[in-house]
């Protein structure tokens, strides 16, 4: 099991994946937004590291094709956007289970922002940042539970008061790991929470 959970910076990625590796790139979380420039920038930076991207269109492709694509890559990269919409779409096609199975077989999972949040126990606390109304069919706020905590990305910025609100409301039942944008978590087990640099 290997997970690299990012906030924003991608600097830690080359140290955990060989140059030339094929990355299954899931940009689903950006679909609710008109401006998806942030996703294009992520693609460009990953390519600049020497990686090849295989687009994994969760909303548009069949479950069998998605399974084939995920099986054929060296790592899975789940990019940022709306956390609730992302998890809804993954569940609709069973991609959540595919990810869990492949990570259990030691395929590297890389999450960025929303992609990091879904790896944890619950996505409910980030409703102060993302709109749950974009995911009317979600049903449950349970995350993929690959790590035993909730990742809170983008810590230390202008929204500091919102992080404090989250901890007051949920701190008695959920564990949080807060990440600044130049940090990441590298986890080899469900309870690992090693914070590393990722400028």
Kindly list the catalytic residues: 113, 154
Structure tokens at 48: 């600049």
Q: Chain-centre distance of CA 152, in angstroms? A: 11
* CA-to-CA dists, residue 21 to 75, 153, 192, angstroms: 8, 26, 25
Query: What is d(CA 8, CA 25) in angstroms, rounded to the nearest whole number?
Result: 16
Nearest to 123 by CA among 149, 96, 161, 160: 149
- DSSP result, 179-191: --TTEEEEESSTT
Structure tokens at 165: 């609100």
Helix axes 95-104, 83-93, angle to 10 degrees: 90
């Amino acid at each position: 099991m290997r997970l690299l959970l990012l906030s924003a910076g991608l600097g830690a990625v080359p140290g955990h994946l060989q140059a030339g590796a094929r990355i299954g790139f899931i940009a689903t979380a950006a679909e609710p937004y008109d401006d998806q420039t942030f996703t294009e920038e992520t693609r460009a930076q990953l390519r600049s590291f020497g990686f090849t991207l295989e687009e994994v269109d969760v909303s548009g492709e069949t479950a069998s094709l998605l399974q084939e694509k995920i099986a054929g890559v060296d790592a899975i990269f789940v990019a940022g956007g709306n956390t609730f919409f992302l998890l809804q779409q993954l569940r609709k096609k069973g991609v959540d289970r595919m990810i869990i199975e492949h990570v259990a077989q030691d395929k590297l999972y890389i999450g960025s922002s929303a992609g990091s949040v879904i790896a944890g126990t619950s996505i409910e606390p980030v409703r102060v940042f993302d709109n749950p109304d974009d995911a009317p069919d979600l049903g449950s706020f349970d995350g993929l539970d690959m790590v035993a905590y909730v990742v809170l990305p983008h810590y230390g910025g202008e929204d500091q008061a919102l992080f404090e609100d989250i901890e007051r409301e949920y701190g008695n039942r959920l564990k949080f790991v807060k990440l600044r944008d130049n940090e990441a978590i590298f986890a080899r087990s469900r309870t690992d929470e090693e914070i590393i640099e990722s400028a």
